[in-house]
Amino acid sequence: MKDIESLKELIKQHVSLGELLRIDGRITNTLEEEQFGCNFHGIDRKKSARYYRVTDSAYCWVCKERWDSISYICKKQGIGFGEAINHIVSEYKIDVSVLPEATEEHVRKIQRVTESKVDNKKLALEKISQAIMVVREDVDLPTYAKMAYAYMVLKYSVPEEQFLEQCAKLKSGMLRVFERLSKK
């Protein structure tokens, strides 16, 4: 594994954010600072992002995010940091053999920082919520109210140790409702 900081610097030498934004038609890349419409938060009525040539970075006041070339590719393609690095290295044919190898301490630090932080309970609740919203118009009011009530109980009242069991019961009940709807 290559040293990440050295790798980031090498990438920034070969791939500038200004050039990426110019290729995407966001800026002309001729001015020191340019305002442009951010394509990550929806429709811009006013140009909400600004590119700064001095730092080769951009900032969007709506998203409240700052980008360099790597983070821009992450956001644009919906990929993680490692995938973006691999994409840039292969796309722009950057020779990384000249970079030093990362120390064991640095590798451990990266592994701690990049460990998955997915909250499975929150994810399950979001999926259930979306499923309930999708069938809102298709089910009768008492059925919808029961599903919404069961969701709220699951979200706010069910203890952690019973969450998976109760979640499975709610999903099973909702599937029965969805099957009835599909047969109509």
Per-residue pLDDT reduced to its tens digit, 142-172: 999 999 999 999 999 988 889 989 999 999 9
Which H or E run includes 92?
none
3-state secondary structure of 111: helix
6 closest CA partner among 75, 76, 102, 107: 102
CA dist 128 and 3 (Å) reads: 42
Q: How many CB atoms lie within 10 A of CB 83?
A: 13
**Is the distance from CB of 154 to CB of 163 less than 8 angstroms?**
yes
Report strand pairing: 65-67 vs 33-36: unpaired
Please tell me the predicted confidence (pLDDT) of residue 1.
Answer: 59
Please tell me the predicted confidence (pLDDT) of residue 88.
Answer: 93
Confidence label for 112 from pLDDT (cuts 50, 70 and 90): low
CA dist 108 and 124 (Å) reads: 30
19 closest CA partner among 75, 69, 55: 69
Q: How many CB atoms lie within 10 A of CB 115?
A: 8
Residue 105 has pLDDT above 80, yes or no: no
Residue 119 has pLDDT above 60, yes or no: yes
**Is the distance from CB of 55 to CB of 105 less than 8 angstroms?**
no
3-state secondary structure of 164: helix
27 closest CA partner among 50, 60, 45: 50
Provide, rounded to the nearest whole percent, the portion of the chain with pLDDT above 70: 91
- Both tokens of 90, joined, read 């292969």
**Is the distance from CB of 144 to CB of 134 less than 8 angstroms?**
no
Give the orientation angle of helix 120-134 with respect to helix 160-183, to 10 degrees.
Answer: 20
Listed in order, the ranges of the chain carrying CATH 3.90.580.10 are 4-114
Residues 6+ apart with CB under 8 A from 114: 81, 82
Candidate CATH numbers 3.40.50.10190, 1.10.3720.10, 3.90.580.10, 3.40.50.300; the one for domain 4-114: 3.90.580.10
Q: Which residues pair with 2 in a beta bridge?
A: 101
